[in-house]
Amino acid sequence: MGEAEPEAPRALEAMARALERLLARNERLSSEPEPEGKQRGLAAFRGARQPSISIARYLERIYRYTCCSPSCFVVGFVYVDRMVHKDPGSLVVPLNVHRIVLTSVMVASKVLDDLHYNNAFFARVGGVSNAELNRLEMELLSLLDFGVMVSSRVFESYCLHMEKELVCSGAAQKIEGAIFDSLTTEIEAPEDDKGKRFPSSPPRKSFS
């Protein structure tokens, strides 16, 4: 009898809810497609068609197979927000959100986690080619001006913001730092990760 899968951290659901609200807002704002010739900024993350997997399930897949810490999803969301402000002429839409999320969480994992998978593994989990993910990583770093560090103050403020997204969606009852408190406990007890078992290689899928 196999072991039951662990419950996904609140940070995943909070990130999914925040992105879903952003997508809904941008759907109302977006009236014209990106110019075909634009290949920089957020336009570089644009796929040919919308993936069939929801953003919530996609985040769960990344968490399940890469074993990245829940904090990576908070910092990944920080990166998304910073990129949006750096490239205000482009929007996060269904055609680019999966690639943006995959790249952001991967870079956050490299910054935060002592043990992390390489780009090739993240690409397989995310359903893109290794070459494409390498290119997207450089595009993300360029948009961030290579500023990948997140202060504890900024981290806490985003935890609270994401918790509010859960409340707005009706998925939580209170916002008193629930996400931040759980992640602080995790950060203060890194020895829990030393016995981490990495899962077997994920099934190869293409979501593009």
Cα→Cα distances 57→13, 51, 76, 78, Å: 10, 11, 16, 20
**pLDDT at site 32:** 53
Distance CA 118, CA 66 (A): 10
3-state helix, strand, coil in the chain (%, to 5): 60, 0, 40
**pLDDT at site 26:** 87
Give the mean model confidence (pLDDT) for residues 119-148: 96
Distance CA 177, CA 1 (A): 37
pLDDT band of residue 193 (cuts 50, 70, 90) is very low
Residue 208: burial class (beta carbons within 10 Å; 0-12, 13-18, 19+): middle
Give the mean model confidence (pLDDT) for residues 93-101: 95
Beta carbons within 10 angstroms of residue 162's beta carbon: 24
What pTM was computed for the model? 0.79
Name 78's Cβ contacts closer than 8 Å, sequence gap at least 6.
150, 154, 155, 158
Statement: residue 8 has pLDDT above 60: yes
**pLDDT at site 187:** 36
Report CA dihedral (15, 55, 142, 112) to the nearest 10 degrees: 50
Provide the mean pLDDT of the chain: 81
Statement: residue 171 has pLDDT above 60: no
Output 192 or 46, whichever has higher pLDDT: 46
Contact (CB, 8 A) for 165 and 18:
yes
**pLDDT at site 30:** 64
Tens-place pLDDT, residues 51-89: 999 999 999 999 999 999 999 999 999 999 999 998 888
Reference 61, options 14, 123, 110, 18; nearest CA is 123
**pLDDT at site 41:** 83
